A and B are shown apart, each in its own frame.
Chain A
Amino acid sequence: MATGSSKLKTVVPDALIAFSVLITAYFVLWNVSQLAMSPLAAFVLWRHRRRNTERARRLPIDVRLPPLVSIVVPAHNEELTIVESIRALLALDYQPRELVIVNDGSKDGTLALLQRAFQLVAAPVAFERPLASEAVRGIYRSVSEPEIVVVDKVNGGSKADAVNAGINAASGALVLVIDADTVLEADALNRAVLPFLEDPSTVAVGANIGIANGCHIENGRVVDVSLPRSWFARFQIVEYMRSFLLFRLACVSQNALVIISGAFGLFRRDAVIAIGGYDRTAIGEDMDVTVRLQRHFRERGLPIRIEFDPHPLCWTQAPDDWQSMKSQRCRWRRGLLQTLWRYRRMIGNPRFGKVGLGAMPYVAFFEGLGPLLEVGGYLVTIVGAALGLLNWAYFGMMIAVSVFSGVAVTLLAVLLNDVAMRRYMEGRTLALLVAIALLESVGYRQLNSLWGCLGTYQALTGTGGWGSMTRKAFKTES
């Protein structure tokens, strides 16, 4: 017994030290990877600014038959924002378009509102059903706006199901999948269509997404960008900057993008149909569909290009309350783990090129393991402190490294964001962004990691649902 106890006394400190070394190494690696991505991201941004001139954006007007874009808008209980969203879509610059709004079994007044606002009538519409979805109850066309098609269907329990029904009803060669509360920039489609006209191997285009909280929105357009009052939303702004302008741009520079955000994704319809559409069982359907596109084309040796526009082509509401945020983060986490598990064969597989050797291993290592290691680190610290084994000087230095390197990476993203979009440019806003970068490491980051662990637990036990986000009408945003 005495021997066991003495063994424990040596094993526990050693284990704690080993774990703390592992976590330190992980943090160093993460920060180094972020910094290493920055030249790639900066290059993509610079190239994009040089290439994406006003003259270049005229190309969709210059070609004889610009591709018809079907804008698929899945709507489930979206009565607060749906009419204004649709009106904004009708005011887009790009003309060859149709709007396919999918009422996904809404229990609120979404359909009734649409019927009133756009004079919908039940219409005979024939369409092929290459993708599986729940039963369609009816198809409506607008008398006042002929480009609107409303698909009323039984709720399928997922956005993927609604999107599949929308893609079935779409007649365009390109389908733009957005969220019902997405606010598009007027020239979003002109910009997003461009890669398809330039390179026939383009199968999808994603875009940078701005957070609409705090912005002044008029007639479905963001007219003034400013930081929101909610700290939750503020933290997400810098988080989005890091995510969109470092990792994704670095992936784009290597043609290895593995996620197109669900808020804005323009796809070649035939490519989405070729992979069987959106997976109705996928929790993170946006990442799932992007990875499947990469897998499908690369497995068959077909050329594939997935592009990303660093200019914010759309704006979305971020959750600004505890509960919505928690359910969103847990869902993202479950989605990430599900996708990584489903496509684990791609990780480290040279057959999938830079996707298999670069993007997927990065996601698996840094995003898959990150929250677990971080929370593990906090637990080790607590145990170490309780056992009197914590080296406080070392601990303090590691906290300082974590905070300052986090601030450096966030400011790098702010710098890239400045170059990409020239928003949040006031001096006061910059000071606030620096403050957000500092404060993010104290509380918000830990909370996110905790939700990540909770999401992991839910993924392992098969619990957790889609959750819901308290929507706000755009007019109350400013």
Chain B
Amino acid sequence: MTDLLVEFSRLAPLMVWVAVVLALAMTCAVVLERALFGIQQALSRRVLKRYAPLVQRALERDEVARRELAKSPARHQVAIARLLIEPLVRDRDPARIAEARAIATAMSVPALAGRYLRSWFWWRRALALRALGLIQARDHIAHLVAALDDAHPDVRAAALDALTDLQDPASVPAIVVRLHDTSLHRGRRGAALKALGSRCESLLLELSEVDPTHRLNYSLALAICGTEKSRPVLCRWTRDARVDVRATAFQALGFVGLDEEAARVALQGLKSDDATVRAMAAFALRGWQGPGDAANRLAVHLEDAWAVAVQAARTLQSMGHAGSAVLLACASRPGVAGLLARQMLWQPDLPS
């Protein structure tokens, strides 16, 4: 055992040296990193001080400022492009976007972005895509669509963001055919559909006819961008063999809005064996004030499974006088039904 200690004792000085060197190396790394950061900050402050007023003037259509920006050295181009383009994330005013695009084009920013798009580094490709989207560079739409198939997921996400910002009808097919592509972020697919709105609807309906296996996704998409045009199809899907498709079709109907036929289908849906379907059927009736005695039929479901009862109560709350009258009548009931009714009469409409 003593031999072991002797062996360790021999190693100990080496370990001390390693530890000391490591501690010194880390101290140097921290100091160096901070120094580099400081230099970088100082440089950006200088660029900001020099170019921020120019960018502002250029956006106010000052031709001298625009010419000066166009003549700026290549090493400052990325920093100027940031000054010009980054505020567009918050400010989506079309006039400002147009001005920014004009200045960026004069500065050859799209050409620079084109070079970045061919870069080996994914973050450069993503940066270029975001910039092109924010300035709505429509002549680069082919590049943006091609980037949806990039090998890197973050580049694909940036391409979707760019297409969302661009809102160009030419990108509709590319976005719609990738509806089921789970390698693209779910939220971003939804955001792109929302941005393009009803322009996606026809293609979605067309594809859904030839691709019934993905009906669930089509229902979810139509919930985002569907109009009354989708209503008959959604009504048909409420009779689908799959429970999740039926439930989502009712949910989509809730967003699309009802007519008399759709309301009749939703009231029929309240009789479903599945609680999720009943809950979504109750949701679909939100705001409905037409025929069908919907309010009284929903009142029965205040005593249903919790998910159904909540949707029924919220729908009653949204139904105007008819809903209020039913809630008032139910308010004196014991148990959850009465409590839900009293809650709906008391509280303002909450976000769904």
**Which A residues are closer than 8 A to B by beta carbons?**
13-14, 17-18, 20-21, 24, 28, 31, 35, 50-51, 53-56, 58-60, 62-65, 68, 96, 98, 123-126, 128, 141, 146, 171, 196-200, 391, 393-394, 397-398, 400-401, 403-405, 407-408, 411-412, 414-415, 418-419, 422, 425, 427, 430, 434
Contact = CB atoms under 8 A, between A and B. Distances in A.
B186 A68 contact: no
A146 B347 contact: yes
Contact of B19 (A405, A425, A430): A405
B16 A404 contact: yes
A53 B188 CA distance: 14
B12 A401 contact: yes
Nearest to A398: B12
A200 B188 CA distance: 12
Given A35-B22, A62-B187, 11 more contacts: A13-B2, A21-B5, A56-B161, A197-B188, A394-B8, A401-B19, A404-B16, A415-B26, A415-B33, A418-B37, A425-B37
A414 B154 contact: no
Contacts of B348: 146
Contacts of A13: 1-2
A422 B37 contact: yes
Given A18-B1, A430-B31, A198 B16 contact: no
A59 B22 contact: no
B85 to A, nearest CB: 10
B195 interface: yes
Contact of B15 (A28, A65, A146): A28
A51 B130 CA distance: 12
A24 B30 contact: no
Given A407-B23, A412-B26, A124 B16 contact: no
Contacts of A54: 86, 89-90
7 contacts: A35-B22, A123-B346, A126-B313, A401-B19, A411-B27, A411-B30, A430-B31
Contact of B34 (A51, A430, A434): A430
Given A55-B161, A404-B16, A415-B26, A124 B194 contact: no
Given A65-B352, A418-B34, A198 B186 contact: yes
Given A50-B126, A394-B5, A62 B350 contact: no
Interface of B: 1-2, 4-5, 8-9, 12-13, 15-16, 18-20, 22-23, 25-27, 29-31, 33-34, 37, 86, 89-90, 123, 126, 130, 134, 154, 157-158, 161, 164, 185-188, 190-191, 194-195, 223-224, 306, 313, 336, 339-340, 342-343, 346-348, 350-352
A123 B345 CA distance: 11
Contacts of B25: 408
B190 A63 contact: yes
A55 B130 contact: yes
A393 B313 CA distance: 78
Given A171-B350, A401-B19, A20 B5 contact: yes
Nearest to B348: A146
A252 to B, nearest CB: 16
Contacts of B352: 65, 68
A141 B15 CA distance: 63
A415 B350 CA distance: 45
B186 A200 contact: yes
Give the interface SS of chain B, mostly helix, strand, loop or mixed.
helix
B5 A414 contact: no
B350 A411 contact: no
A474 to B, nearest CB: 29
Contact of A198 (B5, B20, B188, B336): B188
A64 B30 contact: no
Given A404-B19, A411-B30, A197 B187 contact: yes
A18 B194 CA distance: 68
A93 to B, nearest CB: 12
A64 B123 contact: no
A410 B31 CA distance: 14
A401 B343 contact: no
Across chains A and B, which 3 residue pairs bring their CB atoms closest together, nearest first?
A197-B187, A411-B26, A404-B19
A197 B186 contact: yes
Contact of B1 (A14, A197, A407): A14
Contacts of B89: 54-55, 58
A126 B15 CA distance: 65
Nearest to B38: A425
A128 B16 contact: no
B20 A17 contact: no
Contacts of A98: 350
A141 B86 CA distance: 41
Given A415-B29, A430-B31, A404 B8 contact: no
Contacts of B19: 31, 400-401, 403-405, 408
A64 B190 contact: yes
Contacts of A53: 130
A56 B130 CA distance: 10
A314 B34 CA distance: 24
Contacts of A200: 186
Nearest to B13: A397
B30 A50 contact: no
Contact of B339 (A24, A58, A126, A398): A126
A412 B15 CA distance: 18
Given A14-B1, A391-B9, A404-B20, A62 B343 contact: no
B247 to A, nearest CB: 15
Contacts of A50: 123, 126, 154
Contacts of B2: 13-14, 17
A25 to B, nearest CB: 9
Given A64-B224, A197-B187, A415-B33, A123 B194 contact: no
A63 B194 contact: yes
A360 B223 CA distance: 42
B35 to A, nearest CB: 10
Residue from B90, B123, B336 whose CB has the most chain A CB atoms within 10 Å: B123
Contacts of B191: 59, 62-63
A64 B223 CA distance: 9
A200 B18 CA distance: 45
A305 to B, nearest CB: 12
Contact of A407 (B26, B86, B194, B343): B26
Contacts of A171: 350
A20 B175 CA distance: 64
Given A50-B154, A124-B342, A398-B12, A404 B22 contact: yes
B9 A62 contact: no
A415 B30 CA distance: 5
Contacts of B194: 62-64
A390 to B, nearest CB: 11
Contacts of B164: 62
A415 B37 CA distance: 12
A394 B1 contact: no
Contact of B347 (A28, A123, A197, A403): A123
A199 B347 CA distance: 34
Contacts of B8: 21, 24, 394
